[in-house]
């Protein structure tokens, strides 16, 4: 980024501008437009595109973002104004910018001069990304920040408006306003506020779809989810003619004031007065700096054109589409991808369109690959990021939250040294115009394509136990000529949360012993760790390096046009301090005709230099990389293979047989990160539920997770809502449900495994300052209290603290129960939660017998008394007439009632009324009937969390109301809760309905056709946390990957539909809840310790699957109790054959 930044401000409104046209606008502490302080790419700002309507050629007025080499560029910065000038295609453009002293706006006046002798039609298009938030909050989680923005177009004034919905009462985030004033020689005004429509998937701001397609802007406004402001006007220029327009961008406290700003500058005289005042105040331009700064012209090194990057595209062998791999038939093919035959890989096939551009899915389809201490994300383009120890706090490379651009922080390139042509090995950032195949598997992603007479394959994976990411590369020369090639690996360094956090402290060095690039971590609790990048095999003469991102990419460059690859025969070797830090490696190699060779690049982080060297040396050993990949694949085969099903619903089988457990373990428990959310922390309620889902696969993992969470409980019984390893810093809150998941999951584990010794395990308590009155939460680093008690005592303290009640006899809601967004329903200490009542009722019922086992009759009596009290209160005051209420506010208003103005019904309360067994049968039936009427929209594939959504109610439920109606918890589908509805339906014996809705919730069901993919957009192989329920986004997936819904989908499928339950570790109960039209199903169940395998065939010969009527184990009749098969588990190392027969009640004589 140029150091010649220029600021304009009136004390309240300010903008920062670079000579390249990048920068940002701010209103007080509020960022109006998006900007990252990237010293190299420098790619954010308020931009203006010019397009010749006749020729279709376009460019940007500033150097960024189009990067077009133009005849002339210049800039002038003065005390009160700024100018950017360029001339291209015989059009001279002057961009004058001022911030008036008396108005919170910026005026950007454009003067166009036609230097040719013919009339011209020039289209001007503005572009800026809307923030209306603090820069820090936006940078921390852009996708979340964007959800609260709404846009509109005021036709009377030709103005775009944007506002942020408040998350707290009386929050003032202001209104953003953007309009255009011009002379009469202009055509109709077009506008756009949807960033996805403007840029287009697989495109960039250098060549956005809105410019390359030459179609009018769509005029989309409203709840666009990724907001921009863009206006387009076409100007008629006579030969040697001149035209002038002014773009206004401003901010105001409300809509009316925003439109007043527009009206104030609607007349040319007002605009001219503002420029005159700015010029008078500045004394023209600053006499201490030159008046005119020439910028890049033709042949400049600033973001030069890169013909070599595309040279030879499509030449040579490009027959991947006809090769044996692509002849493989895929399950559930949807135009983009499908599952391989055994369902263990999701195969994405990217094809170039008629223009040579690859056709990508609507949003990135991502694999989350992790081991317990290290991992990475990889999309179908190859983009993603890598972390060590903590996926938020210690990112080695940058995490992106941008589903449109999916910008890579890492890249792999190949360059032909004879022709100079270069491209990426993966579909990004410099794809060839040929087919690509991407395979996301368990623990790895694989990329393959053929171009430039080379077959190129990349496997990305993390060894099961080491903190290193490996890119295994295989090249095969398909030509009859030897090839001299260079392989490049690039990674931008972060070693913190955001790139700017620690960049100045990083010193890049090369290790003489291994040739690896090294940098020491200076990030607080990770200080002293050694990050490294290395190549294998290692030949000092063929390895070249650089630690300088600025020279690798080039100023105003990008990874799609890296300067080093087009300019330098070898990397420049620049290392040390004060750089924009990166790891860049170049490996020069010779590949003979017909030959195949393998290489590898490593990026990782070790405890110290010695450990880094050990890892590098190990993976340079012969066959070490291939062996590590084989071990990873074997680990996941074993981890996921313990429970396998075969039902009449292959889509259910694919998810249950691997993908749900993989998402739960790799993404949720180990990675704690995904594309849309990168937390890094353990959530107290979150990972306990995830671990519970793995009981049938690995109960020891569940056990360890329970003990880990118990160690994050305070002496008073409350818990850390979430905490970051390794320091355990986190937030203490007043959430009312977190602590209850500990006794719930502990009891679940002990009942399933028979390991009641868990409750005797000693576990520490934490100590920290209590929350002050009126304080909802506090971020703190707790101390070891020195007090140690049994897990039983930990569970009891959680229960003791939860035995609260309000005026209706129901538990106090605190600053939220399961629904975090309802954080102000009971924050004053009087609001009550009906759902929490059902949840606590269920847990007390489970835990009272545990008290008896531990000789604790006093607690047993107290819990039993409260248990009886709860069921009375729930059915006395919680019942609304047709369904159960959700809560009461502090001030006494009811929530989730037919008489509520909004949120008249909530799925949580209805589902748990059934699951907890607190509701009488007739009321349980009525409650689920109401869910069917009000919350299930099968035509849209949705089970909404609540209806109608919060929008205009005078009550303040919490930040949930800040969400757009129908988005996330506010009336969209929250898949976690939707699965509880399915579980409740199964509990009531609504077998067909439960199975149908579970199938509906599967991501495969949402992505069966290209048209369905266009609506849902997310991965077919990962469960999404939420699905939107508001037009025009009905059925669109929200955030995928990082959601507890994956674990619950696995549990509901196995436990609620197939009826599987493990009891005391020695008995398998089977009570299927399948539709009558299922002929049966097959279940392969390997005991978690591997001591036996049970192959279970469930038969439904009469088409009545109401109950189990017979069971046979190894040819011998077994026990059936209350319509349920009881299968004794023998740990004898054998495979046992089980046949279970189903029938209706009337069929069983």
pLDDT single digits (tens) 651-664: 999 999 999 999 99
pLDDT tens digits for range 822-859: 999 999 999 999 999 999 999 999 999 999 999 999 99
- Stated as kind and residue range, the H or E segment containing 637 is helix 624-640
Mean predicted lDDT score pLDDT of the chain: 94
Alpha carbon of residue 596 to chain centroid? 37
Cα Rg of the chain, angstroms: 31
Q: Which tokens hold the place of 800?
A: 């003791």
SS3 862: helix
Does the pLDDT at position 502 exceed 70? Answer: yes
Q: Which tokens hold the place of 967?
A: 């988005």
pLDDT over 70, % of the chain: 95
Contact between residue 516 and residue 603 where contact means Cβ atoms under 8 Å apart? no
Mean pLDDT of 667-686: 97
SS3 26: strand
Q: Which residues contact 73 (CB under 8 A, 6 or more apart)?
A: 63, 84, 85, 86, 294, 295, 296, 297
Name the residue among 780, 768, 776 with its Cα closest to residue 816: 776
pLDDT tens digits for range 256-312: 999 999 999 999 999 999 999 987 765 433 332 333 334 433 333 323 333 333 433
Residue 233 to residues 122, 190, 532, 538, 807: CA-CA distances in angstroms?
8, 7, 51, 57, 62
Q: Is 184 or 1096 the better-scoring residue by pLDDT?
A: 1096
Mean pLDDT of 602-612: 98
Sheet containing 444-451: give its strands across.
Answer: 337-339, 345-350, 436-441, 444-451, 454-461, 468-477, 596-606, 530-536, 517-520, 509-510
pLDDT band for position 58 (50/70/90)? Answer: very high
Q: What is the pLDDT of residue 590?
A: 97
Mean pLDDT of 588-606: 98
Dist. CA 151–CA 195, nearest whole Å: 12
Does the pLDDT at position 314 exceed 90? Answer: no
Q: What is the pLDDT of residue 332?
A: 98
Contact between residue 668 and residue 1047 where contact means Cβ atoms under 8 Å apart? yes
SS3 236: strand
Does the pLDDT at position 321 exceed 60? Answer: no
pLDDT band for position 326 (50/70/90)? Answer: low
Contact between residue 640 and residue 694 where contact means Cβ atoms under 8 Å apart? no
Name the residue among 113, 105, 254, 122 with its Cα closest to residue 175: 254
Q: Which residues of 544-569 are buried (b: 16+ CB within 10 A; e: fewer)?
A: bbbbbbbbbbbbbbbbbbbbbbbeee
Contact between residue 415 and residue 421 where contact means Cβ atoms under 8 Å apart? yes
pLDDT band for position 5 (50/70/90)? Answer: confident
Does the pLDDT at position 706 exceed 60? Answer: yes
Q: What is the pLDDT of residue 327?
A: 67
CB atoms within 10 A of CB 1: 21
pLDDT tens digits for range 160-175: 999 999 888 777 789 9
Q: Which residues of 842-869 are buried (b: 16+ CB within 10 A; e: fewer)?
A: bbbbbbbebbeebebeebbebbeebbeb
Alpha carbon of residue 611 to chain centroid? 32
Express the helix, strand and coil content of the chain in percent, nearest 5 each.
25, 30, 40
Name the residue among 824, 927, 816, 947 with its Cα closest to residue 874: 927
SS3 666: helix
Q: Which tokens hold the place of 368?
A: 């989350």
The full set of domains in the chain, from first to last, is: 6-284 (2.70.98.40), 338-637 (2.70.98.40), 1058-1147 (2.60.420.10)
pLDDT over 90, % of the chain: 91
Name the residue among 273, 413, 440 with its Cα closest to residue 349: 440
pLDDT band for position 3 (50/70/90)? Answer: low
Name the residue among 1100, 1140, 1101 with its Cα closest to residue 1118: 1140
pLDDT tens digits for range 932-947: 999 999 999 999 999 9
Q: Which tokens hold the place of 378?
A: 């990889």
Contact between residue 1045 and residue 1055 where contact means Cβ atoms under 8 Å apart? no
Mean pLDDT of 236-264: 96
pLDDT band for position 315 (50/70/90)? Answer: very low
Does the pLDDT at position 318 exceed 60? Answer: no
Place of tokens 């290209």: 1010
Name the residue among 913, 892, 997, 896 with its Cα closest to residue 948: 896
Q: What is the pLDDT of residue 282?
A: 54
Q: Is 17 or 1148 the better-scoring residue by pLDDT?
A: 17
Does the pLDDT at position 319 exceed 70? Answer: no
SS3 294: strand
């Amino acid at each position: 980024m140029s150091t010649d930044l220029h600021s304009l401000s009136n004390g309240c409104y300010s903008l920062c501008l670079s000579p390249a046209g990048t920068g940002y606008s701010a209103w007080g502490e509020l960022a109006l437009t998006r900007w990252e302080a990237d010293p190299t790419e420098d790619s954010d700002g308020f931009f203006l595109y010019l397009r010749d309507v006749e020729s279709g050629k376009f460019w940007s007025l500033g150097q960024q973002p189009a990067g077009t080499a133009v005849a002339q560029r210049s800039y002038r910065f003065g005390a009160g104004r700024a100018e950017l000038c360029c001339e291209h295609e015989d059009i001279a453009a002057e961009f004058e910018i001022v911030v008036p002293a008396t108005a919170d706006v910026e005026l950007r006046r454009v003067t166009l001069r036609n230097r040719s002798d013919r009339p011209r039609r020039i289209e001007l298009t503005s572009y800026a990304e809307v923030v209306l938030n603090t820069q820090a909050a936006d940078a921390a989680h852009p996708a979340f920040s964007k959800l609260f923005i709404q846009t509109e177009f005021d036709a009377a004034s030709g103005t775009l408006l944007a506002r942020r919905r408040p998350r707290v009462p009386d929050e003032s985030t202001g209104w953003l306003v953007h309009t255009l004033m011009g002379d009469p020689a202009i055509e109709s005004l077009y506008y756009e506020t949807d960033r996805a429509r403007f840029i287009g998937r697989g495109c960039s701001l250098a060549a956005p779809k809105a410019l390359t397609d030459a179609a009018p802007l769509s005029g989309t406004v409203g709840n666009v989810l990724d907001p921009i402001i863009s206006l387009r006007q076409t100007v008629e220029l006579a030969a040697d003619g001149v035209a002038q327009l002014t773009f206004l961008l401003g901010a105001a406290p409300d809509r009316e004031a925003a439109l007043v700003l527009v009206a104030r500058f609607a007349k040319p005289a007002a605009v001219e007065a503002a420029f005159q005042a700015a010029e008078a105040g500045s004394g023209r331009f600053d006499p201490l700096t030159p008046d005119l700064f020439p910028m890049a012209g033709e042949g400049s090194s600033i973001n030069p054109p890169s013909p070599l990057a595309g040279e030879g595209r499509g030449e040579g062998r490009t027959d991947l589409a006809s090769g044996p791999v692509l002849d493989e038939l895929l399950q559930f093919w949807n135009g983009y991808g499908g599952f391989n035959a055994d369902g263990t890989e999701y195969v994405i096939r990217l094809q170039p369109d008629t223009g040579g551009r690859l056709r990508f899915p609507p949003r990135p389809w991502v694999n989350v690959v992790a081991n317990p201490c290290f991992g990475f994300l990889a999309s179908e383009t190859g983009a993603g990021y890598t972390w060590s120890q903590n996926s938020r706090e210690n990112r080695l490379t940058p995490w992106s939250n941008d589903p449109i651009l999916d910008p890579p922080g890492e890249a792999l390139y190949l360059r032909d040294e004879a022709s100079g042509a270069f491209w990426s090995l993966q579909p990004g950032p410099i794809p060839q115009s040929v087919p690509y195949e991407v395979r996301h598997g368990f623990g790895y992603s694989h990329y393959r394509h053929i171009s430039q007479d080379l077959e190129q394959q990349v496997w990305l994976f993390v060894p099961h136990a080491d903190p290193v990411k490996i890119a295994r590369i295989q090249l095969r020369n398909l030509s009859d000529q030897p090839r001299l090639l260079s392989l490049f690996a690039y990674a931008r360094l972060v070693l913190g949360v955001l790139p700017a956090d620690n960049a100045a402290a990083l010193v890049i060095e090369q290790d003489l012993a291994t040739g690896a690039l090294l940098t020491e971590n200076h990030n607080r609790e990770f200080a002293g760790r050694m990050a490294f990048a290395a190549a294998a095999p290692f030949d000092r003469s063929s390895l070249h390096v650089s630690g300088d991102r600025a020279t690798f990419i080039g100023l105003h460059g990008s990874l799609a046009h890296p300067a080093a690859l087009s300019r330098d025969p070898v990397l420049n070797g620049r290392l040390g301090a004060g750089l924009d830090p990166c790891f860049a490696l170049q490996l020069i190699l010779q590949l003979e005709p017909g030959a195949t060779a393998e290489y590898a690049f490593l990026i990782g982080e070790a405890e110290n230099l010695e450990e880094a060297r050990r890892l590098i040396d190990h993976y340079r050993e012969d066959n070490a990389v291939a062996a590590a990949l084989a071990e990873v694949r074997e680990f996941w085969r074993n981890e996921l293979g313990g429970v396998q099903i075969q039902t009449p619903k292959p889509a259910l089988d694919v998810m249950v047989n691997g993908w749900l457990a993989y998402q739960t373990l790799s993404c949720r428990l180990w990675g704690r990160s995904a594309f849309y959310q990168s937390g890094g922390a353990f959530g107290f309620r979150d990972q306990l539920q995830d671990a519970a889902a793995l009981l049938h696969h690995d109960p020891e993992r569940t056990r360890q997770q329970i003990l880990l969470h118990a160690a994050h409980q305070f002496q008073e019984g409350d818990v850390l809502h979430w905490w970051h390893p390794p320091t355990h810093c986190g937030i203490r809150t007043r959430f009312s449900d977190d602590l209850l998941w500990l006794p719930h999951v502990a009891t679940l584990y002990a009942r399933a495994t028979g390991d009641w010794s868990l409750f005797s395990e000693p576990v520490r308590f934490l100590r920290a300052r209590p929350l002050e009155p009126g304080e909802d939460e506090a971020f703190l680093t707790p101390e070891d209290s020195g007090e140690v008690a049994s897990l039983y005592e930990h569970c009891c303290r959680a229960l003791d603290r939860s035995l609260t009640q309000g005026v209706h006899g129901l538990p106090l809601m605190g600053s939220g129960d399961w629904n975090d967004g309802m954080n102000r329903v009971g924050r004053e200490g009087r609001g009550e939660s009906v759902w929490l009542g059902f949840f606590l009722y269920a847990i007390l019922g489970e835990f009272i017998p545990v008290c008896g086992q531990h000789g604790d009759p006093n607690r047993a009596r107290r819990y039993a008394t409260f248990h009886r009290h709860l069921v009375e209160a729930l059915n006395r005051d919680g019942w609304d007439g047709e369904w159960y209420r959700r809560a009461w506010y502090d001030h006494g208003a009811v929530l989730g009632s037919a008489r509520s103005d909004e949120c008249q019904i909530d799925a949580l309360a209805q589902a748990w009324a059934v699951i907890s067994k607190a509701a009488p049968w007739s009321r349980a039936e009525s409650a689920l009937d109401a869910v069917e009427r009000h919350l299930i929209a099968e035509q849209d594939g949705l089970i909404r969390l609540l209806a109608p959504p919060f929008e205009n109610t005078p009550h303040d439920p919490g930040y949930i109301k800040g969400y757009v109606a129908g988005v996330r918890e506010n009336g969209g589908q929250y898949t976690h809760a939707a699965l509880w509805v399915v579980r409740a339906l199964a509990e009531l014996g609504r077998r067909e309905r439960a199975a149908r809705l579970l199938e509906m919730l599967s991501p495969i069901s949402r992505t069966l056709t290209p048209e369905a993919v266009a609506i849902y957009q997310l991965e077919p192989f990962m469960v999404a946390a939420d699905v939107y329920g508001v037009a025009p986004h009905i059925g669109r997936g929200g955030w995928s990957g990082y959601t507890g819904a994956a674990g619950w989908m696995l549990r509901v499928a196995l436990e609620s539909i197939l009826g599987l339950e493990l009891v005391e570790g020695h008995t398998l109960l089977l009570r299927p809840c399948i539709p009558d039209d299922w002929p049966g199903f097959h279940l392969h169940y390997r005991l978690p310790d591997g001591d036996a395998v049970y192959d279970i065939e469930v038969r439904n010969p009469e088409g009545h699957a109401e109950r189990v009527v017979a069971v046979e184990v190894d040819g011998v009749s077994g026990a059936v109790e209350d319509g349920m098969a009881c299968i004794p588990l023998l740990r004898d190392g054998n495979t046992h054959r089980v046949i279970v027969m189903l029938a209706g009640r009337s069929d069983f004589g």
